[in-house]
Amino acid sequence: MNKERLLERFLQYVKIDSTADDQSQSVPSTPGQLEIGRLLVEQMLAMGISDAAQDEFGIVMGTVLGNCEAPVVAFNSHVDTSPDAAGKDVKPNVIRNFDGKDVVLSGDSSKVITAAACAELASAEGKTIITTDGTTLLGGDDKAGVAIIMELANHLLETPDLKHGPVRIVFTCDEEIGRGVDHVDISKLDATVCYNFDSGGRNLIDTETFSADLGLITCTGINIHPSIGKDRMVNAVRAVGHFVESLPKDVSPERTDKREGFLHPYSIVGDVSSATLKILLRDFDSEKLREYEQLLRETAQQTESAVPGAKVDVEIRKQYRNMGDGLVAEPRATAIAQQAHQQLGREAELTIVRGGTDGSRLTELGLPTPNLSSGQHNIHSVLEWACLDEMVEACEVGVEIVKLWGKEE
């Protein structure tokens, strides 16, 4: 594996602003995603992936041809970064032979990555890490995964004696805003299994994610000048406030962890005449989402009674489902990933994700897609950092995976 080439690619990718925008109706949501996709196609063509192409939706696909009869294995990462923090003018800092101590970020000394808040930091001692300068995201989620797959593909092409079947590469857009797989043609991928490099640290195999829906609560009132509002005004702001206050406090992100689900009100927009509330519905048990939906509808009725004249509508939009529900259909997907770690003298930890990935949607669509480590840490934060050595380890896992699938004739 070419460690310095991997680093060079990663630094090149994070400097391209590909922040997703959930307010945009374009596909992909921002032009930077098309820019990085074009670069990836150019690089794939240059390394010898002759079918590399970007479609009208920004999705990039290409194939490393196999040299034996074996199932098609796909690898996936997303090119967009989270809108939770700025992704423009990223200035990555490379720290070689890291001392394992707290890192004061160069662009804002008030921003410090501490071992106290991030236990993985100390374990990176002696390794190479990449941080932000404290003013933007780094973009390791998921450009670490993108760089890993590109180096993995390059390595396979440079080692023709390594036996493997066809390896399909797919880079998606807008994963961070829940649209990553909307335009992926599963039949075109034509793969038996896919692996998504989009998890943290090292030696993790995510085999379950939340199941997820979005609740849109619209409170409609009657606006009139407050001087003549008595018995005539119906305040939608008060209605939405009552709705939020009526939600159970113990079913929230602040008070749940591990396998516990939650309701998460996270956005309110509106005025006296109309106010809209957005709520995330999350649980590992897909059926539990129906209970949450019923609770929201009951809360809407209670709010209409508490705020006479108000009208409260509840709309539920399906988002994604627990990848664990679909992985049972292809047990080799996880088993071979575990075996790949064993081949390298490592022990993989099977983990759950209190969130979702492209793997959730791909698995739901019929393509089993566990999620693998890619050296990301402190994601969605200006305190984000990535470990180059862990990215190299992820490449090595990918190589072992294609070798093992190459024996599944």
One domain, residues 162 and 85: yes
Query: Is 175 known to be catalytic?
Result: yes
Cα(312)–Cα(300) distance, rounded to whole angstroms? 6
**Among 151, 174, 175, 330, the one annotated catalytic:** 175
Domains held by the chain: number: 2
SS3 of the chain: helix, strand, coil, percent, to 5: 35, 25, 40
Cα(30)–Cα(20) distance, rounded to whole angstroms? 6
Show the domain range for 314: 211-319
pLDDT at 279: 97
One domain, residues 287 and 257: yes
Beta carbons of 298 and 262 less than 8 angstroms apart:
no
One domain, residues 173 and 117: yes
pLDDT at 401: 98
Q: What is the pLDDT of residues 164-205, one digit of tens each?
A: 999 999 999 999 998 999 999 999 999 999 999 999 999 999
Residue where a domain terminates, one of 319, 336, 370: 319
- Spatial neighbors of 343 by CB under 8 A, at least 6 apart, are 400, 403, 404
CATH number of the structural domain spanning residue 28: 3.40.630.10
pLDDT at 409: 65
Q: What is the pLDDT of residues 334-378, one digit of tens each?
A: 999 999 999 999 999 999 999 989 999 999 999 999 999 999 999
One domain, residues 49 and 193: yes
**Among 80, 176, 198, 330, the one annotated catalytic:** 80
> Considering just the CA atoms, what is the radius of gyration of the chain in Å?
23
Those residues of the chain that have pLDDT short of 70 are 409
DSSP three-state, residue 56? coil
Q: What is the pLDDT of residues 227-259, one digit of tens each?
A: 999 999 999 999 999 999 999 999 999 999 999
